[in-house]
Amino acid sequence: MLPSSPPRLTIVKSSAVLNRPRLVEPTAESSGWPRPVARRPRVAQLVLTLCAGGAERLAIELSLGLAARYGMSVICLEEPGTLAGALVDRGIEVAAIHRRQGFRPSLARTLAAMTRDRGIDVLHCQQYSPYVYGALARLLRPSLRIVYTEHGRLSDAPPSKKRTAINPLLAPLADGIYAVSRDLRRHMLAEGHPASRVDVITNGIDVGKAPSQIESRRARLELSIPGDALVFGTAARLDPVKDLVTLIDAFAVVRAEVPAARLVIVGDGPEREALERRAAEHGARAAIVFTGYRADVRSLLPACDVYVNSSISEGISLTILEAMAARLAVIATRVGGTPEVVNRDDSGLLVPARDPAALARAMLTLARDPGYRTRLASRGRKVVEARFTLDRMVDDYARVYEAAYAQRAAR
C-alpha cells in the first residue's frame, strides 16, 4: 500500500478572465482514427515543471494545438515554472503538486485522484520521472491510459542498471512509449524497454517564414553586435550536458584567426559563471554575448550567421530545428538524434563531441566560405519544412491519444 502524504497542490491562475477551451466532439467526418468512440478523450500532460526545455515546450505546443479537441490540461510534479503563463493565459489549467525531493510513491495516489476528478482519460508523461509516477497512478486507476515520451539523456553514460530492471515491469502499464529519435529508441531498448512497445515520433516546430535582412539588423542592434561581424550563436540551458566549455574553447581558436568573430550564447543555468570565467581566461569575454534566459530565442537567431550545438547528448534539438528554419548554417556534434536531422555536408556539419579542435576547424570552414554557409542554410530549411513541422507532430500525437483511448473503450 502506498503511504499517505497530502500534497501541496497549486492551481495556476490566469491574469486574464478566459474560458477554458471547449471540447469539440467527433463528427461523421472525423475518419481515420483507429476506432470510433462515443466521445473524444480528455488529455493531460504530466511534466516535472514548465521551465525552459524541449520536453516542456513540446507539452505546451501539444496543449495549445489540441486544447479544443481534447480539453488539455497540464500537471507539474514540481513547481509550475516560468512557462506556465503561456498556457493559463490561454485558458488551459496548470496544476502543480510541489513534490518534495526524492522518490515519493504517495504521489501516485494524488495523480490518480486528480485525473479522476478532472475526467482525464489519457495522461501523457513527458520524460522518465513523470512516466514512473503516471504508471503507478494507473495501478490505482486502471482505466487511466498512459502515454510516455522520452526526450533525451542527461549524459552519455551507459544504460542505468536500475532502469534496466524496472522498465520491463512498467511497460505493461503504458499504452504507448515513444522516443524522439531512432538513436534514443536504441538507448531505451538497452535500458530494458521492450522493443515491441517503443516507437519514434520526432519533434516538430512551427517553421514560419525565414527571417528578413531587417530582422537580422534589428537582432544585431539589440545585442550590440556590429553589422559586419561574423556571428556564431547557440541557445541552450547552461548545463554540463550542453558542453559549452568546448564551444568557448573552439571560439577562442576561431577568433585568433577571425578577429571580427562574435559568439552569442542564449540561455541561463548553473554553469554561467564558470563559462564567463572560461571566456575571460581566453581573453574573449568582450567578444561573447551572454544574453541570459530569453523567451524570444527565435527573434535573436537572425543575428547569427552560423548556429553551433556542442552537446554531448541530444534527442532531437528544437533549437537546431529553429536555427535551420531561420536559414542558418548549422554545426553540431555527432550525438544522439542530431545526425537524423543534420546530414553532413548537405544540411550542416557534424563534429565529434568534446573535441574543441574539430569544432574550431568546422567553424573556420564556414567562416571562410559564405557561399557554403548559404547552401547549407538553404538545404537545412528544406529539411525542416519536409520532416519536422509542428502540424505533423501534433497530428501524430493526436492519433496516439485516440488509439490509447480506443483501447479503454474496447474493454
Q: Is residue 316 exposed (0-12), middle (13-18) or buried (19+ Cβ within 10 Å)?
A: buried
The residue-averaged pLDDT of 206-221 equals 96
Digit-coded pLDDT (tens) for 326-372: 999 999 999 999 999 998 768 899 999 999 999 999 999 999 999 99
| pLDDT of res. 82 | 87
Digit-coded pLDDT (tens) for 66-76: 999 999 999 99
What domains, with CATH codes, occur in the chain? 10-204+390-409 (3.40.50.2000), 213-387 (3.40.50.2000)
d(CA 318, CA 183): 16
Assess whether pLDDT exceeds 70 at residue 277.
yes
DSSP category for residue 81:
-
Assess whether pLDDT exceeds 90 at residue 164.
yes
pTM over 0.75: yes
**Sheet order of strands, 261-266 included:** 288-292, 261-266, 230-235, 306-309, 329-333, 349-351
| pLDDT of res. 11 | 72
Residue scoring higher pLDDT (103 or 276): 276
Residue 36's pLDDT band (boundaries 50, 70, 90)?
very low
| pLDDT of res. 407 | 83
The residue-averaged pLDDT of 42-67 equals 93
Q: Return all residues near 331 (Cβ < 8 A) that are at least 6 apart.
A: 306, 307, 308, 309, 348, 349, 350, 351, 359, 362, 363, 366
Residue 295's pLDDT band (boundaries 50, 70, 90)?
confident
At 145, list the grid cell: 491510459
| pLDDT of res. 52 | 76
Residue 410's pLDDT band (boundaries 50, 70, 90)?
low
Digit-coded pLDDT (tens) for 216-244: 999 999 999 999 999 999 999 999 999 99
| pLDDT of res. 101 | 85
Digit-coded pLDDT (tens) for 347-359: 899 999 999 999 9
Residue 33's pLDDT band (boundaries 50, 70, 90)?
very low
Q: Mean pLDDT for the chain?
A: 90
The residue-averaged pLDDT of 32-43 equals 65
Assess whether pLDDT exceeds 90 at residue 318.
yes
The residue-averaged pLDDT of 72-95 equals 92
φ, ψ for residue 407, nearest 5 deg: -65, -40
Q: Return all residues near 252 (Cβ < 8 A) that are at least 6 apart.
A: 282, 283, 284
Q: Which residues pair with 177 in a beta bridge?
A: 148, 198
